[in-house]
Structure 1
């Protein structure tokens, strides 16, 4: 999978996840009444996993149309009506001769703009990811330095309460306690080695019960693995930095994480402690000067504006009943199902259809196509349904000898009558494996006269032919059809050894804004033309229309 395919998967996943985020945002006020906060928070984690794992089970249903896969610009070309064509297997000899002079690039002039857009999209996305990662690394380094330099002596009461709270929750590792000027409110820090942070001079302002409840809140974050969950959410935000809904989701998820941790504390607190807990939050709000700014710490006071909701939840706290838990499980199951499925791409659905005339690989050209080349006996030509792309079956050309001096391929020809005075484009998706010289798409326009003077326009991708092993890429040739033109010849060939596949073949009339790729006047032999248009460009049928 190349860089564009990775980026495209990220963009499509972000679109699909946007609908999940919107659904959670809209349902969140209702869900907080009927579902424990822990299940709402887990719903955000399902979204984060979906964003980080851009795969899914293909289905025939989908979320609204806007969540469908992103089409590549320039991929869709209209095909002209086709009829029967008859050509000469020697008509492409000139193409093979020119192929000897070809050097290598990929793409073609008409597709250059499309490639440029994809190129810059990938660069922009990767640059955004790199910038956010760098900012996160720098912020972590600065926080660690501030934490180290601002460290002061720790109150023994804090260590005693942390030890007691760790035993109450059955924690195997007792977190370290650090008092530092680096934080404004109590928080927990450390993905692998937990550290509970307190501001300098903070403990003296609170009673033992209040400290115990605050410490129980921070230990709850560690027991619930909230630090790891927060890292997961931050990774999803970095990968999908371009989607504002993902930023909204990570912010709301952090708020719901605090609500879930409040529930965690109240399930383990006595009635008196539950009443004290809400008052403690208000007292913390009055004592601290600001909020902890580092994204890598989780504190008891994450958002001052959210504190009102948290206190309301504490006052109206209800223990989790079977009905509320079942509702939460149903919510998670629904979110997981939607996140784990994706609509089958149009081309994937097409690939899964049984081709009308092809059920297995063949070693003969499809109807309407003919072998050609000065070494055509050194090549196998046919259809390969195991290599689908846009269309369910591909044509292939493969060398069958260890050394090949020459070229071989498949082609067709038809009358130029319906295309005179127009500019035409012949294109196909090409994939190659171990091509030691070149794999080419070619087209030629012939006129009247002697054989050596018949060629009017010609292009065989000179200086941009395919070589080596490449993924699917679109290539095309564009020629003008003069008024005196009589025949159009086009096809594919390999020069030397290797294997190439050709898919989604298109022949169309284009406007003057599409640049011509005419490169050479090739010689050809006299031929008989019996068709007025190309035929069987999808390699799927052979009946003459």
Structure 2
């Protein structure tokens, strides 16, 4: 759950950044750049940085394994411990809810795709020489050399692309009969541009984002904006492939003509969508030839988005961070069997509460049988100015941390460590270890 939350926060930040850039640069940037930015934003949602380390075990109350007089005021029931317990109990419920939503989302995506593929995958390919010659002409203008089949049928509602490993173009039969050759070229180039840009494969990537982050509205917004930029980029590529004068105007007229046909009005993919977006597409088509590629800007934005996905946030080391680092070093000495040294490095109150001999004997009786440390992860850390003690509240600058650890002879353990700032140095003042 920790990784999922981290990914959704970073992905939402990337979506906000790309949306802001698209608003500022929409009139001057090419649609291909916007499509690339949305694609990188989707990758941010899928780039994990760390593995989850919240406890996922049962709710049995852990029993105390070690306790000396020096540990009596260690905050086993402190705010940090209570908060950690609440989170641990909530995690399994949240995981079940997330998994249910994930499975439902995957089922819907796979089901719809299966229905669409089964309807047309085994359909006979078109053998009309006129259409096939136009297809090859359009492929050459876009630099496409892979074999692409053409399916024409009365039941096809709108032009579309089927598959991406063995792509097929779907065309409505009524459109192929009534449309002019120029209109056919425009539509074929538009759909071929999707194939050249691998938009079908990218669509599966966005579907994965929506399934994994089904609870996040930003994932659906991301998909919608990518579809818009994808269609605009295909328009842009289709116009650029036509070197005739007035190509932009002719292409816009084709879009308007198809929108006027009720049979081609808003459909699943390809040309058909809302008239509002259609107006925006035509506006961008008319200005396509006036936009110049901004490769440096496009690459810079992609690098920034990649940084959001892969870089750990930098921050100045806080007192709490310093205390946790000191704890890890102190625990490392105990792991190495340096029991006397761990007592000598502890705080004055710790040493007054328990002698070195008592501490060493306690660790030999409790810690040594656990065997070699396999893994230790920080679960929580809390800085506070007082902790409960045997004779009342103890004031000071304390940091209470809990580590989820795994040992050779104990797979799941919870270590609660309390450090106090003493003379500008962080020193141990309490330690508990409990099985999970």
Normalising by structure 1, report the TM-score: 0.59
Q: Distance in 2 between matches of 1:505 and 1:251?
A: 49
Match of 2:326 in 1: 355
Instruction: Tell me which moved more, 274-283 or 23-32.
Output: 23-32
**2:338 matches 1:364:** yes
Instruction: Tell me which moved more, 262-271 or 146-155.
Output: 146-155
Matched residue of 2:279: which SS? helix
Q: Distance in 2 between matches of 1:116 and 1:88?
A: 30
Measured at CA, do residues 186 and 378 of structure 1 come closer, stay the same or move farther in structure 2, by a change above 3 Å? closer
Q: Distance in 1 between matches of 2:136 and 2:273?
A: 24
Q: CA deviation at 1:198?
A: 0.9
Matched residue of 2:169: which SS? strand
| Matched-pair contact (CA < 8 Å) for 2:141–2:241 | no
Matched residue of 1:217: which SS? helix
- 2:175 pairs with one of 202, 211, 217: 202
Measured at CA, do residues 23 and 537 of structure 1 come closer, stay the same or move farther in structure 2, by a change above 3 Å? same
Match of 1:239 in 2: 212
Q: CA deviation at 1:299?
A: 1.3
Instruction: Tell me which moved more, 228-237 or 146-155.
Output: 146-155
Q: CA deviation at 1:14?
A: 0.8
Q: Distance in 1 between matches of 2:375 and 2:165?
A: 47
Matched residue of 1:215: which SS? helix
**2:6 matches 1:12:** yes
Q: CA deviation at 1:357?
A: 10
Measured at CA, do residues 194 and 251 of structure 1 come closer, stay the same or move farther in structure 2, by a change above 3 Å? same
Measured at CA, do residues 86 and 19 of structure 1 come closer, stay the same or move farther in structure 2, by a change above 3 Å? closer
Match of 1:537 in 2: 430
Matched residue of 2:430: which SS? coil
Matched residue of 1:331: which SS? helix
**2:392 matches 1:418:** yes
Q: Distance in 2 between matches of 1:43 and 1:223?
A: 18
Q: CA deviation at 1:167?
A: 2.8
Matched residue of 2:174: which SS? coil
Give 1:114-153 correspondences, 5 Å limit. Answer: 114-147=87-120
Q: Distance in 2 between matches of 1:353 and 1:506?
A: 8
Q: CA deviation at 1:207?
A: 0.6
Give 1:62-461 correspondences, 5 Å limit. Answer: 87=69, 113-147=86-120, 155-269=128-242, 270-289=244-263, 290-293=265-268, 298-321=269-292, 324-343=294-313, 350=321, 355=326, 358=329, 361=333, 362-365=336-339, 366-367=342-343, 368=350, 370-372=359-361, 376=365, 379=368, 387=376, 389-390=378-379, 416-418=390-392, 428-435=402-409
Q: CA deviation at 1:22?
A: 1.8
Gaps of 5+ in 1: 1-6, 57-68, 73-84, 92-107, 393-413, 420-425, 436-466, 475-501, 508-533, 540-545
| RMSD of aligned residue pairs (Cα, Å) | 4.3
Q: CA deviation at 1:205?
A: 1.6
Q: CA deviation at 1:278?
A: 0.6
Q: Distance in 2 between matches of 1:220 and 1:15?
A: 33
**How many residue pairs were aligned?**
373
| Matched-pair contact (CA < 8 Å) for 2:149–2:168 | yes
Which has the larger helix fraction? 2
| Matched-pair contact (CA < 8 Å) for 1:371–1:381 | no
Measured at CA, do residues 311 and 356 of structure 1 come closer, stay the same or move farther in structure 2, by a change above 3 Å? closer
| Matched-pair contact (CA < 8 Å) for 2:327–2:419 | no
Cα deviation digits, residues 458-499 of structure 1 (max 9, x gap): xxxxxxxxx5x23xx64xxxxxxxxxxxxxxxxxxxxxxxxx
Give 1 or 2 for the bigger CA radius of gyration. 1
Measured at CA, do residues 325 and 318 of structure 1 come closer, stay the same or move farther in structure 2, by a change above 3 Å? farther
